[in-house]
A and B are shown apart, each in its own frame.
Chain A
């Protein structure tokens, strides 16, 4: 079994080499049969990596404890679901998982594009296969998942494995890595198309049109992955935090920030033919940050709560990144003339300018997060002292950045291309602006004193109002023409231009998340020991400890506190925070009790028990639910943006040349 798996991986490695050579040679020498064989090789690689993955999964499911990977990541007591998830639970398996997703994407690219992008395809496949080759190198020669346990060269098995870290035995954590990986790996495809366009000097922006939907799906996976990680931290770790600027969290955020910048700036290229170099830089940055993120989570270069083991894969990743970045930079510099901009910036108050600042801010935040994450490594290089930066530092930078982005979210889409007239500014922003001032004044009068929260909520109102106004105006115009009601008119409106209105919904999701984050300064905490029968107060809630019970399952020992909860003296039911102690891994986990409402969450963690005394950590987290509502809205918006618009739209680019270019009339 393990021999077959290893053989499949080895063959995949060889065929990847062939795919690169055949594609490049076939394209250069104009031998269609050779390029065709390159395409088939990519499909063969997919088949082989799938075989290897299937064999690994089969071993995991059947509990073949001769294999080191199976023995260290599963045990007999684990539910089948988690056994399957062990595929991406450890280093060897997750890198195989990476390879498998990449090979799948490669196969999909071949099947969907081979007849459309004849000229570019060989290059696309060569780039994809090179990336595949790197990961197959790791799979084959560095961290093979098919190693067996042996004593003095005699293969042995162990009676039971170590099991999966119980903290990770949670549904969101099971889907979180695949989502993130689908996102990480997905950016390889637009990157490959971008490089192929550069190499072959493909005319126009066909690489952008071809990969637009692809980029959006990838971005969707990544957004979902990052939010699931955040939700997992909130629900499982027991202290109610959803983001602590941990290096591994940052690793997932970095490509998301760069990818978000890319999604915005390609619009500039599609509609105005601007920022071509910039887009190349952005998609490359995003892709390399994806590789870097994999490296960061998998190499243990920076110690974090995620505590992945240190490993020898670090130097391979560094070499791959160095070579890849050098090649990309050389290629972009070499093709600068091909990337000439077709238009110029005209006014600070314009759509172009808002995109520009959106990009500047996203990239600046990306750099800040990267800098903060790498600070221990950087400081060790330059001062020989390893220094880390805490969450306070990240927040001091990222909160103002976030608020500025939120502001741009509101104004950007409503600025006109080229320049915006005073009239249009007034029409779009008068009422939302006045509303924002009223909200800010009301919050201040109501006794709120946290400047950032006030600004954030004010901006949330402003942006939400502009978005709703856009929907309302568009729908009313349709309604008046065709005589349908407002709601069907809104559906019709969205359907006519899914990209625009889906985008608005994504923005709305971001707004809702900001609403959730604004609640953070108002968190309330009570930590203390309570006797059986005693009470604890947190915010307006009173918790009475009815009973402390214990029990045991084959997997773990549990401890539950039964609490009678009342709010402002009115009983609202029982809550049962639980602690589990997993036998095989000798590790405890918290099963927090959570009462989620739109205004606030009551969050209780049963920390320890000492006889009849329980230590409880109780928290009130205002507005947290809005974060998750925002995430769902964002996902919905992205899905809508993926639906083809009912009215086929083409965006003819205005080419202004010569005399007219200098004196072109400015449309109001």
Chain B
């Protein structure tokens, strides 16, 4: 059994150190997915967590102040003020009405300080299955464009 002991020890060392790597400092690698209302309910606990929050960019709320960009995110009528001072320029898809994801922390002043913004136009990529391809509507001019449905054979 001696040689199997050696194998067992080596494997234990490898698996052990991997487990240690996986768990040590995992806290700083975690991003919590929250809705705006959940974020606001978290209270002070929210401030020391890295959070990803999503919503629509409120129309005409984008303000550029030098490198700083301020805007409001809206989701289910809840509004979150966001300040972005990240290094990278904002994506082209980021504009009024776009769906956006903001990564960052909630400040004590209730403003969400984002370090990263992702945005996508609502209709890009594939439309939601079972629904009408919305993006077709403005361009198609098909009769009763609002009632375009896909019918299966």
Contact = CB atoms under 8 A, between A and B. Distances in A.
Interface of A: 2-3, 6, 68, 71-72, 90-91, 143-144, 146-153, 155-156, 158-160, 162, 165, 239, 305, 307-312, 345-348, 353, 356-357, 360-361, 364, 368, 371, 376, 385-390, 392-393, 396-397, 400-401, 404, 527, 581, 585-588, 607-608, 615, 617
A389 B30 contact: yes
Centre residue among B124, B125, B140 by max chain A CB count within 10 A: B125
B149 interface: yes
A360 B11 CA distance: 8
A2 to B, nearest CB: 7
Interface in B1-24: 3-4, 6-7, 10-11, 14-15, 17-18, 21-22
Contacts of A153: 151
A141 to B, nearest CB: 9
Most chain A CB within 10 A, of B88, B120, B130, is at B88
B78 interface: no
B31 interface: yes
B152 A151 contact: no
A143 B33 CA distance: 29
A385 to B, nearest CB: 6
A158 B3 contact: no
A149 B28 CA distance: 48
Contacts of A364: 14-15, 18
A146 B129 contact: no
B144 interface: yes
Contact of B89 (A156, A312, A607): A607
B21 A396 contact: yes
B69 interface: no
Interface in B99-152: 118, 120-121, 124-130, 133, 135-136, 139-144, 147-152
B4 A345 contact: yes
Contacts of A615: 89
A368 B23 CA distance: 11
Contact of B88 (A308, A361, A527): A527
Interface of B is mostly: mixed
A151 B142 contact: yes
A617 B142 CA distance: 43
Given A3-B153, A158-B136, A400 B129 contact: no
Contacts of B124: 165, 307, 585-587
B133 to A, nearest CB: 5
A114 B112 CA distance: 65
Contacts of B89: 527, 607-608, 615, 617
Contact of A305 (B118, B126, B136): B118
Contacts of A361: 14
A607 B120 CA distance: 16
Nearest to A364: B18
Kindly state the interface size class of chain B when it binds its partner: 35 or more
A15 B143 CA distance: 41
B10 A151 contact: no
Contact of A388 (B22, B25, B30, B136): B30
Contact of B151 (A148, A345, A376, A585): A148
A387 B147 contact: no
A615 B26 CA distance: 35
Nearest to A239: B88
B29 interface: yes
A144 B153 contact: yes
B68 to A, nearest CB: 14
B93 interface: yes
Nearest to A144: B152
A364 B139 CA distance: 51
B36 to A, nearest CB: 14
B92 interface: yes
A308 B150 contact: no
Contacts of A162: 133, 135-136
Given A587-B93, A588-B92, A615-B89, A147 B151 contact: yes
Contacts of A345: 3-4, 7
Contact of A72 (B17, B87, B93, B133): B133
Contact of A357 (B14, B17, B142, B144): B14
B126 A72 contact: yes
Contact of A150 (B3, B7, B21, B151): B151
6 contacts: A162-B135, A307-B125, A357-B10, A387-B32, A393-B22, A396-B29
A180 B149 CA distance: 33
Contacts of B129: 91, 143, 309-312
Among B11, B130, B136, residue most surrounded by chain A Cβ atoms (within 10 Å)? B136
A356 B141 CA distance: 64
A376 B34 CA distance: 12
Interface string B37-59: 00000000000000010000000
B153 A146 contact: yes
Contacts of A392: 28-29
A443 B17 CA distance: 27
A150 B87 contact: no
Nearest to A161: B136
A149 B140 CA distance: 12
A616 to B, nearest CB: 10
A71 B87 CA distance: 38
Contact of B149 (A90, A91, A151, A353): A151
A371 B121 CA distance: 30
Q: Which 6 A-B pairs have the closest CB atoms?
A: A393-B29, A588-B92, A386-B33, A309-B126, A150-B151, A607-B89
Given A392-B29, A527-B89, A353 B7 contact: yes
Contacts of B152: 144, 147
Interface string B55-75: 000000000000000000000
B79 to A, nearest CB: 22
Contacts of B130: 312
Contacts of B93: 587-588
Contacts of A144: 152-153
Contacts of A585: 124
Given A3-B153, A68-B150, A305-B118, A158 B140 contact: yes
B10 to A, nearest CB: 7
Contacts of B118: 305
Contacts of A401: 18
Contacts of A587: 92-93, 121, 124
B121 A586 contact: yes
Given A68-B150, A150-B151, 13 more contacts: A6-B153, A156-B142, A158-B139, A158-B140, A162-B135, A307-B124, A348-B6, A360-B11, A361-B14, A385-B32, A389-B29, A392-B29, A586-B121
A90 B126 contact: yes
B104 to A, nearest CB: 13
A152 B126 contact: no
B15 A309 contact: no
Nearest to B103: A390
A308 B147 contact: no
A160 B147 CA distance: 18
Given A72-B127, A147-B151, A153-B151, A160 B3 contact: no
A309 B124 CA distance: 10
A586 B119 CA distance: 13
A162 B139 CA distance: 9
Nearest to A312: B129
A271 B136 CA distance: 60
